[in-house]
Structure 1
Amino acid sequence: MKSAENKKKWVIDPEAAEVVKSVFKMCLEGKGNETIARILQEKQILVPMAYWQSKRLPRGGKKTQPNPYKWCKTTIQKILSQQEYCGDVINFKTCSKSFKNKTRLPNDPENWAIFRDVHEPIIARNDFEKVQTLIAKTKRRAPKPKNGEKSIFCDLLFCGDCHGKLRHHTNTINKDIHYFVCANNKVDYRGNCPGRHYVRADAIEQVVMLELRRMAEFLTADEEAFAELLAQKTDKELLKEKKHNEAELQKAIARNDIVSHLYEKLYEDNAVGKVSDEWFMQLSHKYETERLELKTKIKALRQKLSECGQREQEREKFTSAIRRF
């Protein structure tokens, strides 16, 4: 982390440094990234984003993991590849195509500017190099094309208990057996859901086919009643969704106004000396990050509200599809 006295100087955070050391130690002992992630989760160690937020440290990005203790193997991989832990400073790791394009792109390692032994190291250089050798030898298992195409129900099925997605799998012995399990179950994915909620893909297909046949028979027997029932159901769901989106939009707009006001007041307080430059930088970064998130949220909610008028056409398409079935 950066020193409070000198922003250009890095100092060691003792608590975070112990976690980094333990990650490298477990890797040198032969443990894989998934195993290391599971051990850290069992020890109730905060993930980096949750740790930064608990310490009120300004960091970019947004919180995407609801469980503050659930480590991902990609996070472990990133920690193991950080050369800065050896005491080095690396510049130009990212670049942009032009001054007009603000998007940062990964730069080739040969274009990096590496300054060795600038600050106090956390990991010995020999250990870091050994870990990089182990990582280079690790072979990534390629996807199996013989497993066939994905199920049509992928990304459409959710767990009834935790509301997490059901992941599609293929039986390793019998490739004709496809099934879904909860992506948040604690048996396979270190989640919170108590059960795997195993369900066969062919069983889901049979249930869907039976329901489609039932609706087709209902449509053939009484088309007016079917259309009325469908309209009642879709209108009720549409009204509920519309009210929810409108309420969320009003909250986001109100919060955006508050953040803008707070930012202006912070700027004025800094100008007259009521707020130090350090606090101004931290809080301004926080407000700016929240403002950008609110801007994206407001845009998405307005888009959802504008799409509500298209539901009528979707209803007609659904009826036409059932009629063809």
Structure 2
Amino acid sequence: MTNSTTKLSISGVLKVRVDSTPDVVRRIFNSYLSGKGFDRIARELFEDGIATPSEIAGKRNSSSLWHGSTVRKILENQHYIGNLVQQKETSISVTTEKRKKIDPANYVVIENTHKPIISKDDFHVVQQLISERKRKRPYAKKHLFTNISFCSNCGKSMHYKANRKGYICGAYNKYGHTKCSDHHVRENGLIEAISNDIKQMFSALSTKSFQKDIEKKIANFIQRDQKQLTNILKVIENIKKDKTTALRMKIRGEIQDEEYRLLIEDNGIQLAKLNEEKLKLEKGLLQQKQTIDFTKLIQQIERFVQNPVLDEEMLHKLIERIEIKEDGSPRIHYRFSDPYISSIFLRVTHSTPRAPFVETCPLAACIRFCMRC
């Protein structure tokens, strides 16, 4: 829209478009003058189904979502007061197509080249408001679960809202019910759920019987995977023998070239699948045979139990991400580099009856080590 609200006539004089885009530009300016912010205006335009500048321009990757940054560009564009602005960018060098932006103070502005959509008085007031509001905007406080909590419906990050003492879906916050639902989770509730999980883990890890139980379960997995790997190696060896036999039959003229080709293709597909499974099993066995060391984790969790304050450092050491479901309950993905530790935590957080408030889950790759398997 920033470049499409006017068009060049045959005579070379710029004329205002005859579609609805000039009205949209006026609406944006009037909304901002009435006290609305960039994001609020963008949300209202999206909710009313107003086409975005990229849609009007017919771009391939156009989106129907309005953004606050797009609204701001329109509000700062002198094109709408009848001015032609040139030399916004310049070439870096003759050896590259990359360009760099020029300071707005150095733009070449030719005034009154076409009929204005917005009065100059309104435009200048808007520029003053943008500058004033920018200076008054307080520094955004980063809350504990910022950049680690996400909406399970749309995947957008959760935004902290002071009036709700918790987090709501970022897509809903910007675009309302047209994009997602109004579900939220309280910050204190998340802290309590995670703290309880950590305490349960420490309680379980403190017992030698639990550690032996885990080791026994892992030993069973090793035995099962080793047996499966042995079977795969036998099948691979048999397929290789079949290929050699088929080649001899082809040389002796016992099978036709087409039959040989189809046989080799089929064997190749089977070998590719078996080799992929073989690599997975070998990697898993290598991890499983590593020495289990609980000492470091126990010490770390013991410090938390003695001083139960969930700070940012502890949070990011233990948790990969939190997904907030539509009913407001969180699904917590704990972060552990060692699959054995993941298996322990998975069992601990499911070993006792839990309220429906929280569902815990370590990394997906480690679920196969779950004691419930």
Query: Smaller-chain TM-score range?
Result: 0.5 to 0.7
Equivalent residues of 2:161, 2:168 under 8 A apart: no
Change (3 A) 1:131 1:159: closer
Please state how far the C-alpha of 1:220 moved relative to its aligned partner. Answer: 4.5
Equivalent residues of 2:84, 2:111 under 8 A apart: yes
Distance (Å, rounded) in 2 between the aligned partners of 1:196 and 1:171: 15
Of 213, 226, 239, the match for 1:221:
213
Change (3 A) 1:229 1:27: farther
Distance (Å, rounded) in 2 between the aligned partners of 1:154 and 1:182: 12
Distance (Å, rounded) in 1 between the aligned partners of 2:20 and 2:220: 63
Distance (Å, rounded) in 2 between the aligned partners of 1:91 and 1:32: 28
Distance (Å, rounded) in 1 between the aligned partners of 2:114 and 2:13: 7
**What amino acid is aligned across from residue 126 of structure 1 in structure 2?**
D
Deviations 1:255-282 (A, max 9, x none): xxxxxxxxxxxxxxxxxxxxxxxxxxxx
1:125 aligned residue: 120
1:142 aligned residue: 138
Equivalent residues of 1:87, 1:122 under 8 A apart: yes
Structure with higher Rg: it is: 2
Count of matched residue positions in the alignment of Structure 1 and Structure 2: 228
Equivalent residues of 1:212, 1:322 under 8 A apart: no
Of 98, 117, 121, the match for 2:93:
98
Deviations 1:61-118 (A, max 9, x none): x44x5xx2x4332222111100111222211212343333433322112321111222
The percent of aligned pairs where both chains have the same amino acid is 23
Deviations 1:28-75 (A, max 9, x none): 3343334433432343212222333xxxx358xx44x5xx2x433222
Of 158, 161, 167, the match for 1:166:
158
**What amino acid is aligned across from residue 180 of structure 1 in structure 2?**
Y
Equivalent residues of 1:219, 1:323 under 8 A apart: no
Distance (Å, rounded) in 2 between the aligned partners of 1:108 and 1:228: 67
Check if 1:44 corresponds to 2:49.
yes
Of 157, 170, 179, the match for 1:183:
170
Distance (Å, rounded) in 2 between the aligned partners of 1:225 and 1:6: 81
Q: How does 1:5-20 map to 2 (within 5 A)?
A: 10-13=14-17, 14-20=19-25
Change (3 A) 1:58 1:323: closer
Segments of structure 2 that go 5 or more residues without pairing to the other structure are 225-278, 291-336, 346-373
Point out the more displaced range, 214-223 or 71-80.
214-223
Q: How does 1:277-296 map to 2 (within 5 A)?
A: none
Distance (Å, rounded) in 2 between the aligned partners of 1:88 and 1:229: 73
Which secondary structure does the structure 2 equivalent of 1:158 belong to? strand
Which secondary structure does the structure 2 equivalent of 1:120 belong to? coil
Equivalent residues of 2:169, 2:181 under 8 A apart: no
Change (3 A) 1:18 1:189: closer
2:339 aligned residue: 319
Q: Which has the higher contact order (CA 8 A, sep 6+)?
A: 2
Segments of structure 1 that go 5 or more residues without pairing to the other structure are 233-307
Distance (Å, rounded) in 2 between the aligned partners of 1:48 and 1:198: 35
Please state how far the C-alpha of 1:197 moved relative to its aligned partner. Answer: 2.2
Change (3 A) 1:185 1:97: same
Distance (Å, rounded) in 1 between the aligned partners of 2:342 and 2:170: 32
2:77 aligned residue: 82
1:193 aligned residue: 180
Which secondary structure does the structure 1 equivalent of 2:129 belong to? helix
Distance (Å, rounded) in 2 between the aligned partners of 1:110 and 1:3: 26
Please state how far the C-alpha of 1:212 moved relative to its aligned partner. Answer: 5.2
Q: How does 1:265-304 map to 2 (within 5 A)?
A: none
Distance (Å, rounded) in 1 between the aligned partners of 2:212 and 2:25: 66
Which secondary structure does the structure 2 equivalent of 1:90 belong to? strand
**What amino acid is aligned across from residue 27 of structure 1 in structure 2?**
Y
